[in-house]
Structure 1
Amino acid sequence: MTAPSFRWPYPSLIAHRCGGKLAPENTPAAMRVGAEHGFTMFEYDVKLSKDDVLFLLHDDDLDRTSNGHGPARARTWAELSALDAGSWLSPAFAGERMATLDEVAAFTLQRSIASNVEIKPCPGREAETGTAVALAVQRLWGDAAVPPLLSSFSEDALAAAHVAAPLLPRALLVEAIPVDWRDRLVRHDCVALNVNQKDVTPDLVRDVHEAGYRLCAWTVNDVQRARDLLAWGVDALFTDMLDTIRPPFPARA
């Protein structure tokens, strides 16, 4: 797979962590909220439990988004699935639980929702998680018309995913835009560069497109900024504001 030959099948709006700020992130409730707001693509974070179950969680630790404490890597899935992952956001979501990759696959496939699967390894499990996620995505999505886009900040995880499932499309996630971004995209056979929306300029959009790649911007929560980025040609935006930046967009001012 080379970037210039890859047909980009993804919509321009992606629900960040499935439900943005309207539901507890990376949970079944977030999936339902994302779908209810008309999103046809979700982004979510996947890591390995102590007993090697692939589940959704952004942070390395459990404290922010559950009533658990300490590193997620130290817990089995049975322990993780017993936690309350909803009360931290609102009492209305008390008792909400974490989700597995299998669950989000079933939900999105049934509703024809595309996925950006962010490989979010616990510290020290980068390559292991990249391999496990890629193999699971390959199995769960099978011959789906629109394959999930795999992405990661961890180049070790992305490299392992490349080896495990070379035909799955990949995107390199970066905190800041490296001067050698072209070389890194080639190294991991990526189709896209996912960057902080604050770093996007019309020149960057042009340079990425001229190099044969797509450009996605995270996390865009201002309506006018979203309009500007799309007008410049950014291929997709990740957003938390599912109620104001939602399909169809951009709406007329």
Structure 2
Amino acid sequence: MPFTDPRPLATRERHNAVVPDALIAHRGAPLLAPENTLPAMRAAAEKGARWVEVDVKLTSDMKPVIIHDDRLDRTTNGTGFVGNTLFEDIRKLDAGAKFSPDFAGTRVPTLEELVETVLELDLGLQLELKPTAGDDVETAEVALAAMKALWPVGRSKLFFTSFSIRSVHAAARLMPDVPRAYAVVAPPRDPKALLDETKCQILHVQHEFMPEDALKRLADSGIEYAVATINDREIADRFFKAGAQTVLSDLPDLFG
């Protein structure tokens, strides 16, 4: 369903933006379906999202799966660390019942399943490389090797992001033509210098750590930046007025 673009005209018409849209659906639609699952991607698309964000991690046998936390406990009926668990054992887990009995039997998606669903729904994809501390390079290498085979040649609407500088640098080496975003908690003193250093085109910031002086630095830098995670229209409007290109939201229809 269409929504009203809340951004200033200059932001909407920015021709060099990696993400031209106002909203990226954070982990799909995590208030409507279990986060980072295929039902969450479908729910986001049904609510009008054009882009989704998901997290990819490695199992103990180096298989890429779509899950956010280091541990399995919060979102599945399993226990322990993703990085200590075999792929076949993760695939036996229920990733939906904790959210609602209606989603019982939902599985942790493979990266292949996730990409197939994104392409089927004609969505853009923000793939966050979410390493377990220590496998930063390996997470990028495995995930991007898969993406080279899965993502259609010539199709844009894809970028990689990470809080890990090692993951980001690995992505720049492995798939240099795909844009990258560097995610931070504390706003940088020199946003443009940070993007140059990290070899990224976008900066992702957390809205809770954004005082007025940091907003001004971001606006004055002229970089493309996105803000996470915003579920309030007024807060989103504040950041758009300050020059943000995009927000990440748990509400795919925040601007509906």
The TM tier, using the shorter chain, reads 0.7 to 0.9
Q: Which moved more, 1:151-160 or 1:204-213?
A: 204-213
In 2, Cα distance between equivalents of 1:154 and 1:170 = 12
**Residue 152 of structure 1 corresponds to which residue in structure 2?**
162
In 2, Cα distance between equivalents of 1:230 and 1:126 = 32
Residue number among 173, 176, 186 corresponding to 2:186 in the alignment:
176
* Shift, 1:223, TM fit: 2.0
Q: Are residues 1:133 and 2:143 paired?
A: yes
Equivalenced residue count is 243
Aligned amino acid, residue 174 of structure 2? A
1:15-94 aligned at under 5 Å gives the runs: 15-94=25-104
In 2, Cα distance between equivalents of 1:160 and 1:111 = 28
* Shift, 1:112, TM fit: 1.7
User: Structure 1: which 5+ residue stretches go unaligned?
Assistant: none
**Residue 225 of structure 1 corresponds to which residue in structure 2?**
235
TM-score relative to the length of structure 2:
0.87
Residue deviations 1:142-185 (CA, integer Å, cap 9, x gap) = 32432411110111111111111111100010111233543331
Residue number among 109, 134, 141 corresponding to 1:124 in the alignment:
134
Query: Does the 8 Å CA contact 1:68/1:83 hold for their aligned counterparts?
Result: yes
Query: Does the 8 Å CA contact 1:141/1:147 hold for their aligned counterparts?
Result: no
In 1, Cα distance between equivalents of 2:130 and 2:142 = 12
In 1, Cα distance between equivalents of 2:43 and 2:123 = 13
TM-score relative to the length of structure 1:
0.88
Q: Are residues 1:103 and 2:113 paired?
A: yes
In 1, Cα distance between equivalents of 2:231 and 2:216 = 23
Q: Which moved more, 1:102-111 or 1:81-90?
A: 102-111
User: Structure 2: which 5+ residue stretches go unaligned?
Assistant: 1-13
Q: Are residues 1:142 and 2:152 paired?
A: yes
* Shift, 1:130, TM fit: 1.6
Q: Which moved more, 1:38-47 or 1:234-243?
A: 234-243
In 2, Cα distance between equivalents of 1:205 and 1:215 = 11
Query: Does the 8 Å CA contact 1:9/1:146 hold for their aligned counterparts?
Result: no
Q: Which moved more, 1:65-74 or 1:211-220?
A: 211-220
Query: Does the 8 Å CA contact 1:130/1:161 hold for their aligned counterparts?
Result: yes
**Residue 197 of structure 2 corresponds to which residue in structure 1?**
187
In 1, Cα distance between equivalents of 2:238 and 2:220 = 20
**Residue 14 of structure 1 corresponds to which residue in structure 2?**
24
Alpha carbon RMSD of aligned pairs, Å?
Answer: 2.1
Residue deviations 1:60-97 (CA, integer Å, cap 9, x gap) = 00000000000011112211111000111111111111
Query: Does the 8 Å CA contact 2:191/2:217 hold for their aligned counterparts?
Result: no
* Shift, 1:205, TM fit: 5.0
* Shift, 1:9, TM fit: 4.0
1:187-226 aligned at under 5 Å gives the runs: 187-200=197-210, 204-205=214-215, 207-208=217-218, 210-226=220-236
Query: Does the 8 Å CA contact 1:147/1:169 hold for their aligned counterparts?
Result: no
* Shift, 1:212, TM fit: 4.3
**Residue 242 of structure 1 corresponds to which residue in structure 2?**
252
Query: Does the 8 Å CA contact 1:138/1:168 hold for their aligned counterparts?
Result: no
Q: Which moved more, 1:61-70 or 1:138-147?
A: 138-147
Equivalent pairs: percent with the same residue? 34
In 2, Cα distance between equivalents of 1:210 and 1:102 = 40
